[in-house]
Structure 1
Amino acid sequence: MCITRMFTDNVYFCLLLLFSSPSLPLSPPFSAYISFLTWTHCVYFGLSLSHLSLSALPHPSLSFSLSLSLSFFPSFSSSLPHLPVSLSGVAYSEVRRPCRLMLLVNPNSGRGQAMSLFATHVQRMLTEAAVTHTLVITEHQNHARELVREADLSQWDALVILSGDGLFFEVVNGLMEREDWEEAIQTPLGILPGGSGNALAASVNHYSGAPALLGEELLVSCGFLLCKGLLCPLDLVSVHLSSGQRLFSFLSLAWGFVADVDIESERYRQAGAVRFLLGTLVRLASLRVYRGRLAFLPAHQEGRTGEKEGESTRGAPASSPALSSSSSSPVSSSPVTSPPDSPNSSFCSSMSCGPTECSSTLRDSSISQDTHGELGFENFVHNNHTTVPPNNSTLHNASNNAIKLLQAAAQSRPLAKGPPDALLPPLEEPVPASWTQVQEEGFILVLAMYQSHLAEDLMAAPEARSQDGCIHLYYVLEGVSRAALLRLFLAMEKGGHMACGCPQLVYRQVRALRLEPLTPQGAITVDGEQVECGAVQAQIHGGLARLVTG
């Protein structure tokens, strides 16, 4: 029996080694067959994924084979130079040392099932992939922000968030508030969907080439991509508010209809992702017009069909010249390259990390409310079996009192560091002459996207990529009917809203923008988090962070 198994192992190993070679072209059916053999071999012959790393396997939802990882030879691969991998023209980083993850979980995000999802899916995958991880359960709003702002990041090779997009927003801004922000923001960031929107997780799944997935299927897919461990540059957008606060955004800036739906649908949080559909229907029933001024700096001087810089692209059928000229592949303002690997902020592409350490040995203690971020790391860490605290770390509130609390918290919080915003004038000064100013002042919505998805089932910017160096700006002018607006959102599920032929829908690729609301009506959100309503401007910084995309 042992001899038979050894022979079988060697046969399958040789097949994988031979047919996973990039230099050997395979037909899709045969490639799918090799992938099938790989997975059935793992199942029926008990080959542990700690020996056959997940990074060596094709995505379970794909029909083609990916390159074979050197994780088959852990001792040999550790002695080789680790060079960037290029897939589809994008530079992916590889690193050389074992992986240690800090896994941050918001237990009350979405339907409050994050800890259950961790126990039933995530923990099993990390254990099987031999990934050492420390579990951190957030206990209050901005808990994760305080943690990463003060923590010794050299203890981990990546920070992984199991929650909605709000916790990822906290982590990004906590890193950018550090004195060593340039090094800290290079710490690889991973996302596992555990909230209501899960826009970044859906975007990562989309970038991998996998089919659109929802719910636990999306979680499994993102967990697989996390275990593969390839890194891709992540654009961040610097957002300046009228109060003087500076934030860093990874997903979106919204004003009007979309922001109102996001905030007002909080009352339906227990419904999960369905809350956005309910919120959309309620807001459609009482459609608002928002008054404001919008200006932007185009991403390129001239379109492919010769359009001038100030012209806008209106919603049109997919075959029209207008759509083909402006919704083609995104144009980056500057070449984006993968940042150099840092020995203290790296992620193991093979994830062959030795024995799993799923439980932290650090003590579990409560959080004092008056420490203001000066806590040691041991205050934040929890054992895997810790009882979930009652507080929520991601809160939305549309009331005026909540806005005042947000402003007060912003004033007491350390200012974000970060690169200079060379494209942005002070908010009190007019925009430069090179900017395009939208003549209309009546809007239904303004939505600036830098990832492909706005929610699990909303592909708001199908052309967007995590490192394309563009802000994908959409706005809908007043005059659109409720039926037309509903058609737009229904088509957005598959990214087909630009083909709806809606003349009030305008799409531009920009590098910077300014929005000045003229009335107090309407909310403004950054990555789904409500900020004070007032003048706001933003500029994109290409490849500032690093994202685990598999």
Structure 2
Amino acid sequence: MFIVVVTIFENYTQWYSSLLTIFSLTIKRKLKTIRSMQDSTSKCTCTEHHMGGTICCCCRSDAEENEQLTSVILSRKPPPQEQCRGNLLVFINPNSGTGKSLETFANTVGPKLDKSLIRYEVVVTTGPNHARNVLMTKADLGKFNGVLILSGDGLVFEALNGILCREDAFRIFPTLPIGIVPSGSGNGLLCSVLSKYGTKMNEKSVMERALEIATSPTAKAESVALYSVKTDNQSYASFLSIGWGLMADIDIDSEKWRKSLGHHRFTVMGFIRSCNLRSYKGRLTYRPYKPKGFHPSSNVFSVYEKTTQQRIDDSKVKTNGSVSDSEEETMETKFQNWTLPDSDETLAVGSSDLEETVVIEDNFVNIYAVTLSHIAADGPFAPSAKLEDNRIHLSYILWKDIGTRVNIAKYLLAIEHETHLDLPFVKHVEVSSMKLEVISEGSHVVLDGEVVDTKTIEVASTKNHISVFSSTA
């Protein structure tokens, strides 16, 4: 009994210590901001910005400051066309993370791109689906060498699903590389890419390396596997994760603290959810992974050596100038065929491969499936995952297996130390496809960090991939 009490005390002490540290840092940051505002004079002091335009230093409104930064960014003079090494389409989400993406671009990214003689067309997003609509309809995507996103995984997800709506989607996916400057609180894709090359997983190192790659004229890109997702009423392209239960709730319910706490919001909500633990009734169906002779490769290439259209033309030459049959079909039919041979059948009782299908109907605490190694910078969630590999790393926790709430606290703490999959109550399996059917209410279904309104979600590995900025020469 004494050991149990001590264990509970030690684990909860760690959580309370984290909370106190986070709130202390937050209060200090707020006080610093207040003092800065108090020290500023009533006279407006304005300075010339190195991108052109003027920035008001005593602007007290975030909206006004963002408006000024947007004006400066959009009014800058690009390098002469004849001197340019490349061309980027840039999406900036001014509200992502702590709301510093415009400032990051104006003060760091833009000037570095100018110095590297890389032209850019900027889109400052004004709300949900803005980037999706731009990429869905933009007629001149072929002229760009890549897309640069200043946000988190959510905007990458939105961008990919905008491309998915195009008739040339499956030509664009591998030939239009995506660069990321971390401005959101969730940066799993970027961290997974950078960790492959040994970047230390802390906020400073990730930002520095991301900036270096994004603004370098010698940037290289490589393949990241793409997954087919079907819900009750829509199909998606996915690259990162599917969640339901504990971790999905932590992600979405902590959004209200995004600007005040940044990525620390996950720790705070994790503590709250550990104390107020819930169970969720659902049916999980999956098919264990089998390679089926498919051997993905990294396909590393130089971002600025060719434009997207030149890469598309090259791919057509390699196939003797012919366009694949799938590209002549409707988008719906293409998406239905966009799977591997072992994952293109409905995962349901009665399937022809019933002997290979596992069905679990029970009360769950957490279901979380990832396709990349990291979901954040604090340690790999699936250490064995590879960028180009098309297997899904599924983990789940059943209510009947957890014992006490302390075990959930241990689980959340263990993620940072890469030992969470070793806990006896955590089940982990590599699958080629999975299906989740929500039976009870009370949790969000989350896809790549974004909530999807559905009672059923089905995920399958594919042979397709996207390309992501990953390194420099």
- Give me the TM-score of the superposition, normalised by structure 2: 0.70
Aligned to 1:241: 231
Change beyond 3 A, Cα 1:519–1:218: same
- Please tell me whether the aligned partners of residues 284 and 435 of structure 2 are also in contact (alpha carbons under 8 angstroms): yes
The equivalent position to 2:194 in structure 1, one of 185, 205, 227, is 205
Asked whether the equivalents of residues 222 and 299 of structure 2 are also in contact (C-alpha less than 8 Å), the reply is: no
State which of 457, 469, 475 in structure 1 corresponds to 2:396: 475
Give the deviation of 1:333 after TM superposition.
6.3
Residue 488 (str. 1) matches residue 411 (str. 2) = yes
Does structure 1 residue 114 correspond to structure 2 residue 37? no
Q: Distance in 1 between matches of 2:257 and 2:410?
A: 23
Among residues 361, 364, 367, which one is paired with 1:443 in the alignment? Answer: 364
Residue pairs, 1:131-530, within 5 angstroms: 131-151=118-138, 152-186=140-174, 187-214=176-203, 216-226=204-214, 227=216, 228-243=218-233, 245-270=234-259, 271-300=261-290, 334-337=294-297, 347-348=303-304, 417-418=334-335, 419-421=337-339, 422=341, 423-426=343-346, 430-431=350-351, 432-439=353-360, 441-478=362-399, 479-480=401-402, 481-499=404-422, 502-530=423-451
Q: Which has the higher contact order (CA 8 A, sep 6+)?
A: 1
Q: Distance in 2 between matches of 1:230 and 1:506?
A: 37
Question: How many residues are treated as equivalent by the alignment?
Answer: 354
Structure 1 alignment gaps of length 5 or more: 1-96, 301-330, 352-413
Q: CA–CA distance in 1 between the matches of 2:90 and 2:333?
A: 23
Name the aligned partner's letter for residue 177 of structure 1. C
Q: 1:340 to 1:416 in 2, by over 3 A?
A: farther
How much does 1:177 deviate?
A: 0.8
The alignment partner of 1:119 has SS state of helix
Q: 1:507 deviation in Å?
A: 1.0
> What CA distance in whole angstroms lies between the structure 2 residues aligned with 1:208 and 1:340?
13
The secondary structure found in structure 1 opposite 2:192 is helix
CA distance in 1, matches of 2:468, 2:442: 35
CA contact (8 A) 1:235 1:545 kept: yes
For residues 194 and 450 of structure 1, the distance between their equivalents in structure 2, rounded to whole angstroms, comes to 22
Cα 1:266–1:440 change in 2 (3 A) is: same
Q: Helix, strand or coil for the counterpart of 1:206?
A: helix
> In the alignment, residue 175 of structure 1 is paired with which amino acid?
I
> Percent identity, aligned pairs only?
31
* More strand per residue: 2
Summarize the Cα distance change of 1:426–1:438 in structure 2 as closer, same or farther, 3 Å threshold.
Answer: closer
Q: Name structure 2 gaps, 5 residues minimum.
A: 1-83, 308-330
> In 2, Cα distance between the equivalents of 1:487 and 1:170?
33
Cα 1:533/1:260, change in 2 over 3 Å: farther
1: CA distance, partners of 2:296 / 2:179: 20
Contact 1:236 1:250 in 2 (8 A): yes
Say if 1:439 and 1:168 are closer, same or farther in 2 by CA, change over 3 A: closer
- CA drift at 1:277: 1.1
Q: CA deviation at 1:135?
A: 1.8
Deviation (angstroms), 1:192: 1.3
- Tell me the CA shift for residue 426 of structure 1: 4.0
Q: Deviations over 1:237-268 (max 9, x none)?
A: 1111022x101111101011111111111111
- Check the 8 A contact 1:297/1:434 in 2, yes or no: no
TM-score (norm 1): 0.61
* C-alpha displacement of 1:159: 0.8
Q: Which amino acid counterpart does residue 496 of structure 1 have in structure 2? A: T
DSSP-derived class of the 2:91 partner: strand
Distance in structure 1 (CA, Å) of the matches to 2:332 and 2:445? 20
Amino acid at match of 1:112: G
Tell me how far apart the structure 2 counterparts of residues 149 and 289 of structure 1 sit (CA, whole Å): 39
Question: 1:533 Cα shift?
Answer: 3.4
* Cα shift readout 1:57-86 (whole Å, capped 9, x = no counterpart): xxxxxxxxxxxxxxxxxxxxxxxxxxxxxx
Any conservation in 2 of the 1:512–1:537 contact (CA below 8 Å)?
yes
1:219 corresponds to which letter in structure 2? M
**Could you say what secondary structure the match of 1:472 adopts?**
strand
Deviation at 1:294, TM superposition (A): 1.1
1:79-100 CA-partner distances (Å, limit 9, x unpaired):
xxxxxxxxxxxxxxxxxx9421
1:25-174 equivalent positions in 2, closer than 5 A: 98-151=85-138, 152-174=140-162
* Letter in structure 1 aligned against 2:345: P
